[in-house]
Structures are given as structure tokens and as C-alpha cells.
């Protein structure tokens, strides 16, 4: 069974056709990269998958379950997590507080408020373990706005991974990072559990081809190519778009 099936998904924003009839499937544990020029519809596709906006037409299936019209929190409960193109941290809260809030939200469906209070130390322990696992214990007490942009992006990633999602959507996690930070974030993604399905939008071709099992190429809202890195590398229309864009 596929982790995700995207079946003829279209999205129209009041006249702007952001996605047209996009179809492809992602296998469990796959590292699926989504590439394409600015405005191609990549983030819109993530918004369709996470339920941020309704599809105009088409169907989305998560592990065999139709989630096309499911609200975002149900999708999250079914194991879907995402990061955003722009950092999503509370700037005046510490890294630890941001992490605890995210862990709390991820368990909202399982714990009542009263039980949450008793779970507080468990949440703290879990947050500390995550920061230590990813080598970020040093910044636990720093406010989100005080840490570097690269560190903010790493914390975004940890927040999304914290609930051990089955399917993780990453929207340009390396954008705006230094070369060293890109290496670090690519390493974090490489260290994710092998059975976690990862969909990642990436503008850096070297990073995309390095990580991908398969690649989907969007252009002007349409899926113009889909396949292994080797298949995509040699694809005439993809070459044309990227040569034309550069």
C-alpha cells in the first residue's frame, strides 16, 4: 500500500490555476523530492496534503484512507507532519518552550488537559532528549528570536519530527542556510528512521538529487516528470526548464 496517493489534484485560487491534475504515489519509507521553479505549485501541493486549503478537485489518500476532506488535525493524528517555508516558531518563547508546546499539541488528542499537567515532566524530558539527540542542547534556554536562522530551521525540523510522524512534509528546509548548515540539515534528514516517509521541496538540485529515491517535477502547476534521479537528470523538458531558468 502506498503511503500517499495524490490522484488528479487540482487547485484554483480565484482564477489562478496553482495545480492542474497532479497525480503520483509515494511508497512507505520513500525519500521523495519535489522540485520546480518558483510559483510551480510545490507549496500549494503541501497545503493540499496537510489540509491547510481544500482541493478544488481530486483525491488524497494516506495509507489507504481517503483524507481529501479531512481537517488538518485529523491528518496530523493519522501521522502526517509538516514544516513551513517560513519558520513557524514562537519568537519570544525559548527553544525548549517551543518544543514542549509542539509535543503537547501533538498529543492533544490523547491527553486531557488534566492528564497533560501530570505529563508535564515527561514532555520536558522528551524535549530535552530530542535537543540532545540533535545536538542542540546548548540553545534550549535561548529565545527562538535570539538563535540564528539556521538554528531556527533545525528547530522547525525537530518540532515536525518530534511526534514521530509516518509521513513528514518538508518545505525547503535548506533555503537560506549556509553551506555548513545545509550539510547539517541534510544529515538530520539522512538520520530519520528508514520507515518514515519523507516528501521534501528543495530548490538546490545537488541536495535534491543527493537525498531523493524519486523526484517529482512541477512546472506551472503541472507534473511534468516523475522518476528516479537518473530518469529526471536526463529528462529533456526538465533540462529545458532549468537551463531556461538559469
Please give the residue ranges that form the binding site for ligand ADP (CB under 6 A). Answer: 13, 16, 18, 36, 38-44
- Residue 38 binds which entry of ligand ADP, Mg ion, none, with Cβ cut-offs from 5 to 8 Å by kind? ligand ADP
Least distance in angstroms from the C-beta of 48 to ligand ADP: 10
Return the CA Rg of the chain.
Answer: 18
Least distance in angstroms from the C-beta of 8 to ligand ADP: 17
- Residue 36 binds which entry of ligand ADP, Mg ion, none, with Cβ cut-offs from 5 to 8 Å by kind? ligand ADP
Element (H, E) at 11: strand 4-13
Distances (CA, A) of 144 to 34, 92, 135, 162, 174: 28, 6, 16, 17, 18
Q: What is 125-175 written as a DSSP string?
A: HHHHHHHHHTT-GGGTTSBGGGS-HHHHHHHHHHHHHHT--SEEEEESTTT
Residue closer to ligand ADP by CB (options 84, 136) is 84
Dihedral sign of CA atoms 93, 78, 208, 246 in order: negative
Q: Figure out which of the listed residues 43, 98, 152, 197 binds Mg ion, where binding follows CB under 5 A.
A: 43
Least distance in angstroms from the C-beta of 70 to Mg ion: 22
Distance from chain centroid for Cα 209: 17
Residue closer to ligand ADP by CB (options 85, 137) is 85
Pairing of the two strands 80-82 and 65-66: unpaired
Q: Which stretch binds Mg ion (CB under 5 A): 8-16, 43-51, 132-140, 221-229?
A: 43-51
Least distance in angstroms from the C-beta of 171 to Mg ion: 6
Q: What residues make contact with Mg ion under the rule CB under 5 A?
A: 42-43
Amino acid at each position: 500500500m502506498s503511503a500517499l496517493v495524490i490522484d488528479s489534484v487540482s487547485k484554483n485560487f480565484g482564477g489562478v490555476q496553482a495545480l492542474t491534475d497532479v497525480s503520483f504515489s509515494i511508497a512507505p519509507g520513500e525519500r521523495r523530492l519535489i522540485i520546480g521553479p518558483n510559483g510551480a505549485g510545490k507549496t500549494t501541493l503541501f497545503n493540499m496534503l496537510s489540509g491547510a486549503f481544500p482541493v478544488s478537485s481530486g483525491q488524497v489518500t494516506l495509507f489507504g484512507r481517503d483524507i481529501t476532506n479531512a481537517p488538518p488535525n485529523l491528518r496530523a493524528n493519522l501521522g502526517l507532519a509538516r514544516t513551513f517555508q517560513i519558520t513557524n516558531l514562537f519568537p519570544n518563547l525559548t527553544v525548549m518552550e517551543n518544543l514542549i508546546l509542539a509535543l503537547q499539541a501533538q498529543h492533544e488528542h490523547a491527553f486531557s488537559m488534566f492528564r497533560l499537567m501530570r505529563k508535564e515532566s515527561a514532555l520536558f524530558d522528551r524535549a530535552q532528549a530530542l535537543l540532545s539527540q540533535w545536538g542542540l542542547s546548548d540553545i534550549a534556554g535561548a529565545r527562538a528570536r535570539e538563535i540564528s536562522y539556521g538554528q531556527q530551521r533545525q528547530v522547525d525540523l525537530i518540532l515536525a519530527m518530534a511526534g514521530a510522524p509516518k509521513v513528514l512534509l518538508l518545505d525547503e528546509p535548506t533555503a537560506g542556510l549556509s553551506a555548513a548548515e545545509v550539510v547539517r540539515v541534510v544529515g538530520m534528514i539522512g538520520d530519520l528512521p528508514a520507515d518514515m516517509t519523507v516528501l521534501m521541496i528543495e530548490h538546490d538540485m545537488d541536495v535534491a538529487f543527493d537525498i531523493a529515491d524519486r523526484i517529482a517535477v512541477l512546472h506551472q502547476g503541472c507534473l511534468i516528470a516523475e522518476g528516479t534521479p537518473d530518469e529526471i537528470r536526463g529528462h529533456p523538458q526538465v533540462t529545458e526548464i532549468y537551463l531556461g531558468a538559469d
